Amino acid sequence: MGVNRRHQPINRKPDGAVRAKKALGQHFLTDQNIARNTAEAIRLEAGRKVLEVGPGMGVLTQYLLEHPINLHVVEIDRDSVAYLNTHFPALQGRIIEADFLRLPLERYLDEQGAVIGNFPYNISSQILFHCLDHLEVVEEICGMFQKEVAERIASIHGNKTYGILSVVLQTWYDCEYLFTVHEHVFQPPPKVKSAVIRLRRKSENHLKVPKPFFMQVVKMAFNQRRKTLRNALRPMLHAEHRAEQWLHLRAEQLSIAEFHQLAEALYRHD
């Protein structure tokens, strides 16, 4: 897409502003520096296919449009779609009015694709799992999350924040916590702090079991995280001796590599 240098950044209260809808988890970012830093956190190479999720009134979009990327935006809110059509002529033919969670990402991305957005907090985890389902076309993910969720994604083993998102995302992506964002830079302000994180797909992955099986192991392990793995994974323990070295531990004590080894030991006897 060509550069739209004539478009000026939106003001805090632009004409025809969209009313934030609680049911859609909308909190519109008003800080232009944060918007620019978030947009520029991904690689913005010429022709790269990028999907922005929930652009709202275009606070990120305006900075993405400064680069010659192949940008599409996905917006489910009709009011926001109308606003974007009016204020961003460069988006003509590039606004997808749809639910991102039902979108076939391979239609808009390729193996170098990126997903970016101020993600609605009520579906942010679902957005990540949808990207993971389309791992082959989502090389990079960058966006705004509830701070607690961002910390969970980037957490390492041994921490209380370490969980399902940490293990499954860090299996396929390098995760980086970029910066914290305070409540007052949104309209309306959320009740929690936020954070921007970036995930970049690893060039190599050494997991030797199918992705659905691995995710099943991780989810079962953390769904009863106070129990030892022997109890949490009991339905899967057909040959305990293969996984014996980990079964006395709890899920949060295993590193990513150890989760891989545990899943491989269980898979041989599934």
Reported as a single tens digit per residue, the pLDDT across 85-114 is 999 999 999 999 999 999 999 999 999 999
Do 22-201 and 211-267 come out as alike in CATH topology?
no
pTM of the model: 0.88
Q: Is the preceding peptide bond at 188 cis, omega within 30 degrees of 0?
A: yes
Residue extents of the structural domains in the chain: 22-201, 211-267
pLDDT above 90 coverage of the chain, percent: 73
pLDDT of 39: 97
Average pLDDT over residues 19-26: 54
pLDDT tops 90 at residue 198: yes
> In angstroms, rounded to a whole number, what is the distance separating the alpha carbons of residues 102 and 98?
8
Average pLDDT over residues 17-32: 65
pLDDT of 51: 98
Quick one: CATH architecture of 22-201?
3-Layer(aba) Sandwich (3.40)
pLDDT above 70 coverage of the chain, percent: 87
Element (H, E) at 51: strand 49-53
Give the least confident one: 52-61, 202-211, 234-243. Answer: 234-243
Average pLDDT over residues 236-240: 73
pLDDT of 143: 95
pLDDT of 25: 52
Query: 31-51, pLDDT tens digit by residue?
Result: 899 999 999 999 999 999 999
What separation in angstroms does the CA of 27 have from each of 22, 81, 106? Answer: 8, 16, 28
Q: What single-letter amino acid sits at 22?
A: K
Query: 113-134, pLDDT tens digit by residue?
Result: 999 999 988 899 999 999 999 9
Backbone angles phi, psi at 225, to 5 degrees: -65, -20
Average pLDDT over residues 24-35: 76
> In angstroms, rounded to a whole number, what is the distance separating the alpha carbons of residues 82 and 73?
13
Residue 29's pLDDT band (cuts 50, 70, 90): confident
pLDDT tops 90 at residue 2: no
Element (H, E) at 222: helix 211-223
Query: 67-88, pLDDT tens digit by residue?
Result: 999 999 999 989 899 999 999 9
Please state the CATH superfamily assignment of the domain spanning residues 211-267 in this structure: rRNA adenine dimethylase, C-terminal domain (1.10.8.100)
Average pLDDT over residues 201-207: 90
